[in-house]
Structure 1
Amino acid sequence: MNVINRRIYSAVREYQNKYPILAITGPRQSGKTTLLRTLFPDYRYVSLENPDNRDFALKDPNGFLNEYDDQVVFDEVQQAPAIFSYLQTIVDNRSDKMGGFILSGSQNFHLMERITQSLAGRVAIFKLLPLDIKELEASDLLADDPFSQLIHGFYPAMYDRKISSSVFYPNYVQTYVNRDITELMVVKDLRQFQNFLGLCATRAGQLLNLSALANEAGITQPTAKSWLSALESSYITFQLYPFHKNFSKRVVKTPKLYFYDTGLLCHLLKITKRETLLTHPVKGALFENMIVAEFFKQMHHSYQNQSPWFWRDNHGNEVDLLLDQGLSLDIYEIKASKTVLTENFKSLAKFESISTIPIYSKGLVNAGSLNQKRSYGNVISWKDFPEFS
């Protein structure tokens, strides 16, 4: 079994002594259990998915927390919402005790709802997403070719247990995605939801037209919005919102849809071979999805807070990723090509010419392996973006 050192470990260690409660959230199979057992080997581990544990916590929260009162991990803690208010009282009564409770869950909506209601200010919250490129590279597991990597995907189980993506993803959808969605809401027709999920995959890296998505899926727009929210809460998809500060009404204000894992995305699109992807119309969108998702993964794994956006006007000029640094902006174009052309920097130059906020850095992220500094901006290899310390 390959031992992959997750970059988030150091941040969790640091804040263990600064907050009475730590919360680890992220999609199923992202490595949360491994993290918990690695970083907290002396803590008691209690899974609230176990019916006996869950029944104890729900029916007798006082007795449950008298039994598990310190140095304990509560996994899938959203299954027992009754204990959150009791935890608040416990940690408030022993304000000098740090890191006594570790909470973990894979449904972000329910977990964050409980934390917001009862534990605000008492919890350090971490997001463990699928493996990032730097983690794979450090473990000598990263593919040499970006398109092979994005098809294979980033979930740790495939690397730990040497499971092929063709086996992993069908099981993942059936075992986890469908299960989480049906726990979050009532889905009368699971086949219709699966069709909706596939239609979301066809829109990865594109502007999200919720009305058109609902019509094609044969559902109402409120249902489409609800299902999409459930996918986001289960860490399957996320949205990137447009930057429109100090711009006119001619700027697009519709978000773009992305998947956290491109292996799952390729599975849904039935793309299993690199040769197929290289000539596929979605090649550029999938490469963009991988790079944008990589930014989010590394941001959370480094426990940093950035403000990522994209920008697009109604003439089609677009900046794929924009980072608002407050007094300046970093802007990036993403191209699924190894060839660097001057015209690739055209949209970045256009944006810089009309922005009232100074541009600190311009970059072109591509599928090549070289990093170069050019007068138009920096050329950045897919393996080296972004750079978080």
Structure 2
Amino acid sequence: MAQNDTKAFLDKYASSGVIIDEVQNVPTIFSYLQTIIDENQIPGQFILTGSQNFTLSENISQTLAGRIALVSLLPLSIQELQASEYSTTLDTDKLIFRGGYPSLYQRSTLNPIDWYLYYIKTYVERDVRQIKNLTDLNRFQAFLKLCSGRIGQILNLTSLANDCGISHVTARQWISILETSYLVYLLPPYYQNFSKRIIKMPKLYFYDTGLACALLGLESEQQVETHYLRGSLFENLVINELLKFRFNQGRPSNLYFWRDKTGHEIDCIYELSDRLIPIEIKASKTLSTDYFKSLLYFQKLSQQKQGIVCYAGDIAAKQQHISITNFMDLIHELNKVSQ
């Protein structure tokens, strides 16, 4: 009915409102919605959801600009899982390996590897085919796997292009596709008011660590424990939580990283209107004095007085204006520090 008689379909819900899922499958609906929205002026009358962000974004920008509020819903956060019936089963490697997609928790018998491999296949064969000038899907999938091996690293398009056998321009286009489809994101560097001798290229992360694990070929959470990228996957998991915290509040990302050319680095900087909160992320359960070095250096350089060490251990304390917290309590600690 939505396809054959769009106006009659929408008239049914003109007073009550409706949620329309996979709305991009009927592109003609957007122009009709524009007319109804302009006439009724009822905020939230229609809730539109869709999994194919390419088509959805294009139609929204063309017909509904200025009439909508956009909400990005990422996979489940640790806070959401802690508030659910699955809270007692959570541990570090399981969270990294399983990721945050709801189906993998609602249906505990699902094998994450099988689910993610099907997800990747569906994404590549259905969604990516809609992108113009993308004909070599096998090479694109190889490019996606190469990206998973570079989690937490400075984005090097030349290296990615060479390893995949594509041009630098194509690599840039493909990264853009992965960003648009919410598979990867680029964490920008923070370099305001600091020395010019700093890194100004972004770092590469995945929106879901379970997907990254599948692309890396990991087949169990036990394999995560000994994998050479475990530290990077843990860092990715924690930064994802910060990103979900912002998005779930309807706010844009305020996250950065910082690294100078002498080796000092802050894994994540949480920017507030009046100050910066540097966050050091460590996968270890054992606290080390080395974790404080970069934070203390950054505090001195930036004249900031706060900082957080986020790790997998159980000690919660405060030392030299630096809070120490378990990664599952990071958002709670961040709320306290931000006040």
Match of 2:35 in 1: 89
C-alpha deviation, 1:288, in angstroms = 0.4
Q: Does 1:385 align with 2:330?
A: yes
Letter in structure 2 aligned against 1:188: T
Letter in structure 2 aligned against 1:252: I
Q: SS in structure 2 opposite 1:206?
A: coil
| 1:177 to 1:371, Cα distance in 2 relative to 1, 3 A | farther
Match for 1:115 among 51, 56, 60?
A: 60
User: Deviation per CA, 1:101-120, whole angstroms, max 9, x where unpaired?
Assistant: 11111233433343333323
| 1:117 to 1:361, Cα distance in 2 relative to 1, 3 A | farther
Q: Does 1:170 align with 2:117?
A: yes
| 1:319 to 1:178, Cα distance in 2 relative to 1, 3 A | farther
CA distance in 2, matches of 1:253, 1:178: 34
Match of 2:308 in 1: 363
> What is the alpha-carbon root mean square deviation over aligned residues?
2.1
Equivalent pairs, count: 331
C-alpha deviation, 1:61, in angstroms = 5.0
Match of 2:256 in 1: 309
What's the TM-score once normalised by structure 1's chain length? 0.79
Q: Does 1:139 align with 2:84?
A: yes
CA distance in 2, matches of 1:69, 1:376: 55
Match for 1:151 among 87, 90, 97?
A: 97
CA distance in 2, matches of 1:292, 1:364: 13
CA distance in 1, matches of 2:63, 2:316: 47
Match for 2:46 among 101, 112, 123?
A: 101
Match of 1:372 in 2: 317
Letter in structure 1 aligned against 2:67: R
CA distance in 2, matches of 1:249, 1:193: 36
Q: Does 1:207 align with 2:154?
A: yes
CA distance in 1, matches of 2:128, 2:54: 11
Q: SS in structure 1 opposite 2:211?
A: helix
Match for 1:74 among 8, 16, 20?
A: 20
C-alpha deviation, 1:186, in angstroms = 4.2
C-alpha deviation, 1:66, in angstroms = 4.0
The structure with higher relative contact order (CA 8 Å, sep 6+) is: 1
C-alpha deviation, 1:306, in angstroms = 4.6
Q: SS in structure 2 opposite 1:126?
A: coil
Match of 1:248 in 2: 195
Letter in structure 2 aligned against 1:91: I
The answer to whether the 8 A contact 1:207-1:256 is kept is: yes
User: Deviation per CA, 1:157-179, whole angstroms, max 9, x where unpaired?
Assistant: 11112212122111111123442
User: Deviation per CA, 1:201-221, whole angstroms, max 9, x where unpaired?
Assistant: 001111110111011111112
CA distance in 2, matches of 1:315, 1:306: 27
C-alpha deviation, 1:360, in angstroms = 5.2
CA distance in 1, matches of 2:127, 2:305: 42
Letter in structure 2 aligned against 1:310: F
Match of 1:344 in 2: 291
CA distance in 2, matches of 1:347, 1:105: 42
CA distance in 1, matches of 2:129, 2:204: 22
The answer to whether the 8 A contact 2:154-2:202 is kept is: yes
| Residue segments in structure 1 that go unaligned for 5+ positions in a row | 1-51
C-alpha deviation, 1:302, in angstroms = 3.0
The answer to whether the 8 A contact 1:306-1:323 is kept is: no
C-alpha deviation, 1:362, in angstroms = 0.3
C-alpha deviation, 1:140, in angstroms = 3.4
User: Greater strand share, 1 or 2?
Assistant: 1
Match for 1:286 among 233, 246, 265?
A: 233
Q: SS in structure 1 opposite 2:185?
A: strand
Match of 2:281 in 1: 334
The answer to whether the 8 A contact 2:34-2:64 is kept is: yes
User: Deviation per CA, 1:147-200, whole angstroms, max 9, x where unpaired?
Assistant: 222112211111112212122111111123442111234432222111111000
What's the TM-score once normalised by structure 2's chain length? 0.90
The answer to whether the 8 A contact 2:146-2:160 is kept is: yes
CA distance in 2, matches of 1:359, 1:108: 39
